[in-house]
Amino acid sequence: MSIETVELYRAFEESLGKEKAQLVVKDITNLINEARQELVTRENLRETELKLMKEIEGVRLTLTKEIEGVRKEVKEIELKLTHEIGEVKLEVEKVRSSVIKWIAGLLVAQTGVIITIIMLFK
């Protein structure tokens, strides 16, 4: 027993008697212990809350950096694709031009054959 408990017991012993004083002191001691435990629990909760807030901030910063990295990668890919699309368009234009020249040459040759056949039958 602590000094406070003994003093509390003595104060109640005179007015309540030994048994009742013991019960009252026991109840008061239990209440005090519960209050202390609750106080400790609140302090633990506050510490945990602060730790979690710090950890959440760290995760947020990490995610922000990662998102920025992904944005840069997307921008680089976008630029590469734009460049490649431009190259493909040039290739398509070259092929188109080549096909047009080839068809024009074929038409000229066909016209020449038709003219030659007409001249032969005259």
Q: Output the pLDDT for position 11.
A: 75
**25 burial class (0-12, 13-18, 19+ CB within 10 angstroms)?**
buried
In the numeric block, the tokens 């070259």 are attached to 94
pLDDT digits (tens, 9 = 90+) for 39-49: 777 788 888 88
Q: Could you give the CA distance from residue 26 to residue 33 in angstroms, rounded to a whole number?
A: 10
Neighbours of 28 (CB within 10 A): 15
The pLDDT tens digits of the residues spanning 16-31 come to: 787 887 888 788 888 8
pLDDT of 8 > 90? The answer is: no
Tokens 């020249």 sit on residue: 101
| Measured distance CA(55)–CA(106) in Å, rounded | 75
User: What pLDDT digit, counting tens, does each position of 30-88 carry?
Assistant: 888 888 887 777 788 888 889 999 999 999 999 999 999 999 999 999 999 999 999 99
